[in-house]
A and B are shown apart, each in its own frame.
Chain A
Amino acid sequence: MKYDIVIGLEVHLQLNTKTKIFCGCSTTFGNSPNSQTCPVCLGFPGVLPVFNKGVLDLSLRSALALGCTVSKFIKFDRKNYFYPDLPKNFQISQYDLPLAKDGLLEIDVEDGSRKRIRIRRVHMEEDAGKLVHEKEASLVDFNRCGTPLLEIVSEPDINSPEEAYRYLTALKEILRYLEVSDCNMEEGSLRCDANISLKPKGSEELGTKAEVKNVNSFKAVRGALSYEVQRQEELLSNSERVVQETRLWDPDKEVTVSMRSKEEAHDYRYFPEPDLVPFVITDKTIQEVRSALPELPQAKRARFIKEIGLSEYDAGVITSEKEMADYFEGCIKLYDKPKVVANWLMGDFTAALKEKGLESISQCEMDPADFIGMLKMIDDGSISGKMAKSILAEAIQEGKAPKDLVSAKGLTQISDKPQLEDLVGKAMEENGEVVEEYRRGKKGAIAYLVGQVMQKTKGKANPKLVNEILRKKLEG
């Protein structure tokens, strides 16, 4: 029997505010355990959480960019459960009045068409602490506890592991453009749980789903879901049942394993958080946030293709990171050859960034003016394209301006005509036989003479000009 795959994704995003959602502790990653905690985030009795305005601002940006309808009236609720990473024994989250609902995210699917994935809801909540498991005990660090999270829940509109991968990629792209989060899955600033079930092809009724956790890269999401498709297909084909459960992805063995399930179902006993008053979001606020949204990747891509004339592929690569797209736009303001700029950025520039270990072009010290200066030096013949490649690599590696490297190394290509004519004349004098050979019809001999000039100038003569001058003198 053939099956349809049904996937829904829950993404937890750490918002990059300076402080936690309900207290003034810093959210900086990687500091000494429990150095960023206070009575509020440690859950001491009698403390009062106060909502961070920055969290609402970033959350609103995200919800609106995802095309959601923002609620006019929202509140926070307590989600109760016992676990050592949660000092209050409840998590402050949003239950029945979330920040926003009914969004849309468009993805490119494998057949080249576009598909809309609906977003069910977007809500704000606090993160839990971090547990380190030792042999005999577990250790708790509450630095992360209270870090603001945005939970983005999709409808089960995703129909393959590849689509899930593309949904996450598209979501990350938008969120990075909005500058609301680092979206770094390895550091845990973006986390993803996936619900997956199979149903007979064309059937209306959904099958029993499994929830997959512990996936810490986009590729792992795709891998874990592919494994689940195979596992559930086998069960169903053998007339066995899929058990509703949480499964953990084991990245080493590339399988999902059943998480020992608790005997009782979760009973979170949500109720309104009495320590936080509700929040009213006005149309005016929504309008302000909406009009301050940056151009999003899809719109930028379309504009780069239509107005700047990039190919679909080039536009896709250049816009996949906002920093790169901004750099590109900075360049083409100074230089009217977008295709040339795109080729350099996607090729040698990206390679040099990687070589230096930089993740983003914004970390590179070379600004668009320096870079374009170098491209113009190629155009006016002061350096060759080949020289430019090594200059660029060194400039990025050393954090120097290309034009300084060129002059420091005396690399400037010799394009001065009288000087070259002089050199060509000398080379012809010294190699009378070769000149004779050429004039007798052995045209290939010119290469030797070019080589002589290059040798005299340590490779700095403009080869095109040397060729031209030589030809003129030999023919003349």
Chain B
Amino acid sequence: MGIIKKKDVLYVASLARIKLADGQIEGFTGQLDSILDYIKQLDEVDTESVQPTSHVLPMVNVFRKDDVKPSLPQEKVLENAPGKEGYFFKVPKVIDGAEK
């Protein structure tokens, strides 16, 4: 029926690093489908002469000067870290771009 298949849900979940229980997959398949259906209504609008919108605020060119501001104290930075070593964050080992 819908555009979204089970494999699509699993793929999106893997991109988001979310583990789904078997029972959840079916549910999300239907939900994602109905969201797409809803958004699909936009296809009916004629957008021929409308510029693509990347931002809704009518503002451009918000800059900051290249002036140094104080950083956080290192102790504060690492306060909530699940793992640390010296002033480093410590994470499970990563090699060659693949997570172990």
Please judge, given known A-B contacts A139-B88, A139-B89, A272-B55, whether A278 and B60 are in contact too, CB under 8 Å. Answer: yes
- The reply on A132 being an interface residue by CB < 8 A is yes
Query: How close is A416's CB to chain B, nearest CB, in angstroms?
Result: 59
Check if A137 sits within 8 Å of B92, measured CB to CB: yes
Complex Cα spacing A56 to B60, Å: 14
Complex Cα spacing A267 to B11, Å: 10
Complex Cα spacing A277 to B85, Å: 38
Check if B72 sits within 8 Å of A137, measured CB to CB: no
- The reply on B1 being an interface residue by CB < 8 A is no
- The reply on A38 being an interface residue by CB < 8 A is yes
Q: How many residues of A contact B (CB 8 A)?
A: 54
Q: Which residues of A, 31-71, contact B by the 8 Å Cβ criterion?
A: 32-39, 42, 50-56
Query: How close is B91's CB to chain A, nearest CB, in angstroms?
Result: 5
- The reply on A131 being an interface residue by CB < 8 A is yes
- The reply on A242 being an interface residue by CB < 8 A is no
Complex Cα spacing A248 to B15, Å: 25
Query: How close is B94's CB to chain A, nearest CB, in angstroms?
Result: 5
- The reply on A440 being an interface residue by CB < 8 A is no
User: A253-288 CB contact bits vs B (8 Å, 1 = yes)?
Assistant: 000000110101001010010101111100000000
Complex Cα spacing A32 to B77, Å: 13
Check if B88 sits within 8 Å of A84, measured CB to CB: no
Check if B62 sits within 8 Å of A262, measured CB to CB: no
Chain A residues lying within 8 Å of B54, measured Cβ to Cβ, are 75, 272, 278
Check if B69 sits within 8 Å of A132, measured CB to CB: no
Check if B68 sits within 8 Å of A137, measured CB to CB: no
Complex Cα spacing A25 to B69, Å: 6
User: B58-100 CB contact bits vs A (8 Å, 1 = yes)?
Assistant: 0111111111111110100110000101111111111111110
Chain B residues lying within 8 Å of A26, measured Cβ to Cβ, are 68, 71
Check if A52 sits within 8 Å of B97, measured CB to CB: no
Check if B60 sits within 8 Å of A277, measured CB to CB: yes
- The reply on B19 being an interface residue by CB < 8 A is no
Return the contact of A279 from the options B17, B61, B95 (Cβ within 8 A): B61
Complex Cα spacing A259 to B72, Å: 36
Return the contact of B94 from the options A24, A138, A264 (Cβ within 8 A): A138
- The reply on A332 being an interface residue by CB < 8 A is no
Check if A277 sits within 8 Å of B62, measured CB to CB: yes
User: B1-25 CB contact bits vs A (8 Å, 1 = yes)?
Assistant: 0000000000000110100000000
Check if B91 sits within 8 Å of A140, measured CB to CB: yes
- The reply on B50 being an interface residue by CB < 8 A is no
Check if A53 sits within 8 Å of B15, measured CB to CB: no
Return the contact of B65 from the options A53, A133, A139, A272 (Cβ within 8 A): A53
- The reply on A204 being an interface residue by CB < 8 A is no
- The reply on A319 being an interface residue by CB < 8 A is no
- The reply on A83 being an interface residue by CB < 8 A is yes
- The reply on B57 being an interface residue by CB < 8 A is yes
The stretch of A15-23, A350-358, A377-385, A450-458 in contact with B is: A15-23
Complex Cα spacing A227 to B41, Å: 55
Query: How close is A93's CB to chain B, nearest CB, in angstroms?
Result: 14
Chain A residues lying within 8 Å of B83, measured Cβ to Cβ, are 137
Complex Cα spacing A37 to B70, Å: 9
Chain A residues lying within 8 Å of B57, measured Cβ to Cβ, are 277
Check if A84 sits within 8 Å of B98, measured CB to CB: no
Interface centre among A26, A34, A54 (most CB of B within 10 A): A34
- The reply on A394 being an interface residue by CB < 8 A is no
Q: Which residues of A, 102-156, contact B by the 8 Å Cβ criterion?
A: 131-134, 136-142
Query: How close is B36's CB to chain A, nearest CB, in angstroms?
Result: 16
Check if B60 sits within 8 Å of A19, measured CB to CB: no
Return the contact of B74 from the options A35, A134, A280 (Cβ within 8 A): A35
Return the contact of B71 from the options A25, A83, A277 (Cβ within 8 A): A25
Please judge, given known A-B contacts A24-B64, A51-B62, A277-B61, whether A36 and B71 are in contact too, CB under 8 Å. Answer: yes
What are 10 A-B pairs with beta-carbon distances under 8 A? A25-B71, A33-B86, A33-B87, A53-B65, A83-B94, A138-B94, A139-B89, A142-B89, A259-B97, A277-B57
Chain A residues engaging chain B, CB cutoff 8 angstroms: 17-19, 23-26, 32-39, 42, 50-56, 75, 80, 82-84, 131-134, 136-142, 246, 248, 259-260, 262, 264, 267, 269, 272, 274, 276-280
Query: Besides the contacts A19-B66, A138-B91, A279-B60, what 8 more A-B pairs have beta carbons closer than 8 Å?
Result: A18-B67, A25-B69, A34-B89, A37-B71, A51-B64, A80-B15, A272-B55, A276-B62
5 closest residue pairs by CB, A with B: A24-B69, A54-B66, A139-B88, A272-B54, A53-B63
